[in-house]
Copies of this chain bind each other. A is one copy, B any other.
Amino acid sequence: MATRLQPARHNQLVLDCPLPLDSGAAVASPAIAYEAYGRLNDARDNAILICHALTMDQYVASTHPVTGKPGWWAKVVRPGGVIDTDRYHVICANVIGSCMGSSGPASDDPGSGQPYAMRFPVVTIGDMVRAQAMLLDRLGIARLHAVVGGSMGGMQALAWAAHYPDRVDRALIIASAARHSAQNIAFHEVGRQAIMADPNWRGGDYYASGEPPTKGLAVARMAAHITYLSEAGLTEKFGRQLQDREAKTFGFDADFQVESYLRHQGISFVDRFDANSYLYITRAMDYFDLGDPHGGRLADAFRQSPVRFGLVSFDSDWLYPTAESRRIVQALHAAGAQASFVELSSPFGHDAFLLDSPELWRLISGFIEAGR
């Protein structure tokens, strides 16, 4: 297990003005790291913003600088692909609070020259989206052809449509929700407690120690990872199969394949992710509730919205179940907005949106091309 995150260079833009936050605080000179693919056309109307999920990043279609793996949606975003970079200018920005080049708890506080750690202000999904809007301002992109995201990316796509309805032609929200449920919050809280219980966490000030709270972060990742998979998917993939052995060892090694798999998920995660960022981003997700400023009336967040909405859920996703997507669609229809919705069948649970899914890809393509 590596003891600290490997440094990596990212394409960054440092804003010359503060980023105001929903909390009332601000990030003084926010850095926003992003990747871009394809050419912005002369009319500047072919930009698509892709919003990433909790532990993903801007490397949607380029090799990850730490893991060396292909981009997380490299099969979708490519020349001639479902999101065709020969025709669209695709942007993906690391969210504020994360650890891949955008300002977050691991960044240096310009005031002290030391990492912010837990002195970084708490951010929200709305703040992530505001940072992206400021980035697009700097890039001279007034309006998006589409904003697309799965999971927490879907929350950002929803927030984009709610807060900047005139800058978004269409919003595609995949395997997501307009608010975090009590169960969602509970799982995140377990992860946060696992990190904070690690003595290496040191109240967040572990950057100088060279000993980040990798064990706590690995446990957090393991707990979360179970929620990304379905019970049926786990059974199909692992069942009760033993790991490289004929019989149970009557010990505490990883006898079962599913144990070995989970341990690997935990251990490999800590090489590419900052524990404090995990705290901040999970908090942002827990705080997310688009209906809250409207007394719980989600429709009021989208009254007469000109945005075209597309929603996709997966039937085996128990983290953001179909009912949450349906609730959004009902609110959008009540608000007089244009919204289509498809529930896809998949055995793979929440993770399905990241996997090879020709059905999903056809939906994405159709939604992006519609009316062009």
Q: Does A23 contact B (CB under 8 A)?
A: yes
B234:A222 contact, CB within 8 angstroms:
no
Given known contacts A185-B258, A262-B189, A219 and B219 CB-to-CB distance under 8 angstroms = yes
Contact mask for chain A residues 219-241; partner B; CB cutoff 8 A; 1 contact, 0 none = 10011001001010011011110
Chain A residues numbered 194-219 whose CB sits less than 8 Å from any CB in chain B: 194, 196-199, 215-216, 218-219
- In the bound complex, residues from chain B placing their C-beta under 8 Å from that of A190 are 219, 222-223, 226, 262
* Bound Cα distance from A342 to B251, whole angstroms: 36
* Bound Cα distance from A259 to B189, whole angstroms: 6
- In the bound complex, residues from chain B placing their C-beta under 8 Å from that of A223 are 190, 223
Q: Does A256 contact B (CB under 8 A)?
A: yes
- In the bound complex, residues from chain B placing their C-beta under 8 Å from that of A262 are 186, 189-190, 193
- Which of B196, B250, B252, B286 is in CB contact (< 8 Å) with A279? B252
Q: Does A121 contact B (CB under 8 A)?
A: yes
**Copies of this chain in the oligomer:** 2
Q: Does A87 contact B (CB under 8 A)?
A: no
Of the listed stretches A77-85, A174-182, A303-311, chain B binds A174-182
- In the bound complex, residues from chain B placing their C-beta under 8 Å from that of A219 are 190, 193-194, 197, 219
- In the bound complex, residues from chain B placing their C-beta under 8 Å from that of A192 are 252
- Which of B121, B182, B231, B259 is in CB contact (< 8 Å) with A250? B121
* Bound Cα distance from A286 to B238, whole angstroms: 14
Q: Which of chain B's residues has its CB closest to A240's CB?
A: B289
Q: Does A104 contact B (CB under 8 A)?
A: no
CB distance from A271 to the nearest CB of B (A): 17
Q: Does A153 contact B (CB under 8 A)?
A: no
Q: Which of chain B's residues has its CB closest to A123's CB?
A: B250
Contact mask for chain A residues 280-294; partner B; CB cutoff 8 A; 1 contact, 0 none = 000100110100100
A199:B199 contact, CB within 8 angstroms:
yes
* Bound Cα distance from A179 to B240, whole angstroms: 9
A193:B235 contact, CB within 8 angstroms:
no
* Bound Cα distance from A269 to B251, whole angstroms: 25
Q: Which of chain B's residues has its CB closest to A219's CB?
A: B194
- In the bound complex, residues from chain B placing their C-beta under 8 Å from that of A186 are 222, 226, 234, 258-259, 262
CB distance from A326 to the nearest CB of B (A): 15
CB distance from A281 to the nearest CB of B (A): 12
Q: Which of chain B's residues has its CB closest to A236's CB?
A: B182
CB distance from A320 to the nearest CB of B (A): 11
Given known contacts A182-B256, A186-B262, A122 and B251 CB-to-CB distance under 8 angstroms = yes
Q: Does A112 contact B (CB under 8 A)?
A: no
Q: Does A187 contact B (CB under 8 A)?
A: yes
Closest 5 CB pairs of A and B: A197-B215, A23-B250, A182-B234, A122-B250, A182-B238
